[in-house]
Amino acid sequence: MKFARVAALILGVSMVGAGIAACSNEPEPVSSDINVISTQGQNAGSETSGAADADNAASENYVFVYSGVNFIVNADIDESGFTEGTDFEVTEVASCAGQGMASLYTFKGGSFSVETVVGSDKIARIALCDDSVSTAEGLYIGKTIDDVKAVYGEPTESSSALYIYKKGTSELRFQIDGDGKVTEIDYFAAGIL
């Protein structure tokens, strides 16, 4: 039993370490790999033809909601839905897999970020970075693993440091510290990372 716990701990730490080493979505201060594309607040716009695709993706995947806008992995990011005063910065970053440049949207001074798939507007990852934002179901950084299980049930995959829930083509990942508290929340397009 003790061996199984040690093995699970080593596997969990390895998975978290591999994920961090494979892709850190934190923008670097200055680098030749990063170009600021825009810093802006957008006005509300009309719905686009991608709205139907977004509705389908929302019913099949986990959804992150911010200022009334649905952010869904494997669906296009739609800037026209941002209300006036939605401040964000868009930077160009090297993809995690080294396949080219992706767009990284950073909101609320870094409270969360959205990374697109290389060469498209499709969302590959959404990272919640502090407790000022939460999942659509109300979970945020600092909650306990018991809170997570109360909302989402038993995870699809887990280790002592990572709980993964899969739905449609999305994954919702909760990184957990030694005290059982959530330290990071990520939405991923399944199979991307």
- Quote the CA–CA distance of 137 and 151 in Å, as a whole number: 7
- Sequence spans of domains, the chain: 2-189
User: What pLDDT is recorded for position 96?
Assistant: 66
As a whole-number percent, the residues of the chain with pLDDT over 70 amount to: 67
CB 173, CB 157: distance < 8 Å? no
Q: Higher confidence at residue 45 or residue 144?
A: 144
The whole-chain average pLDDT of the chain stands at 74
User: What pLDDT is recorded for position 114?
Assistant: 92
pLDDT tens, position by position, 82-131: 877 777 888 888 876 667 888 898 987 789 999 998 888 899 999 999 99
Tell whether the model's pLDDT for residue 132 goes beyond 90: yes
- Quote the CA–CA distance of 25 and 20 in Å, as a whole number: 9
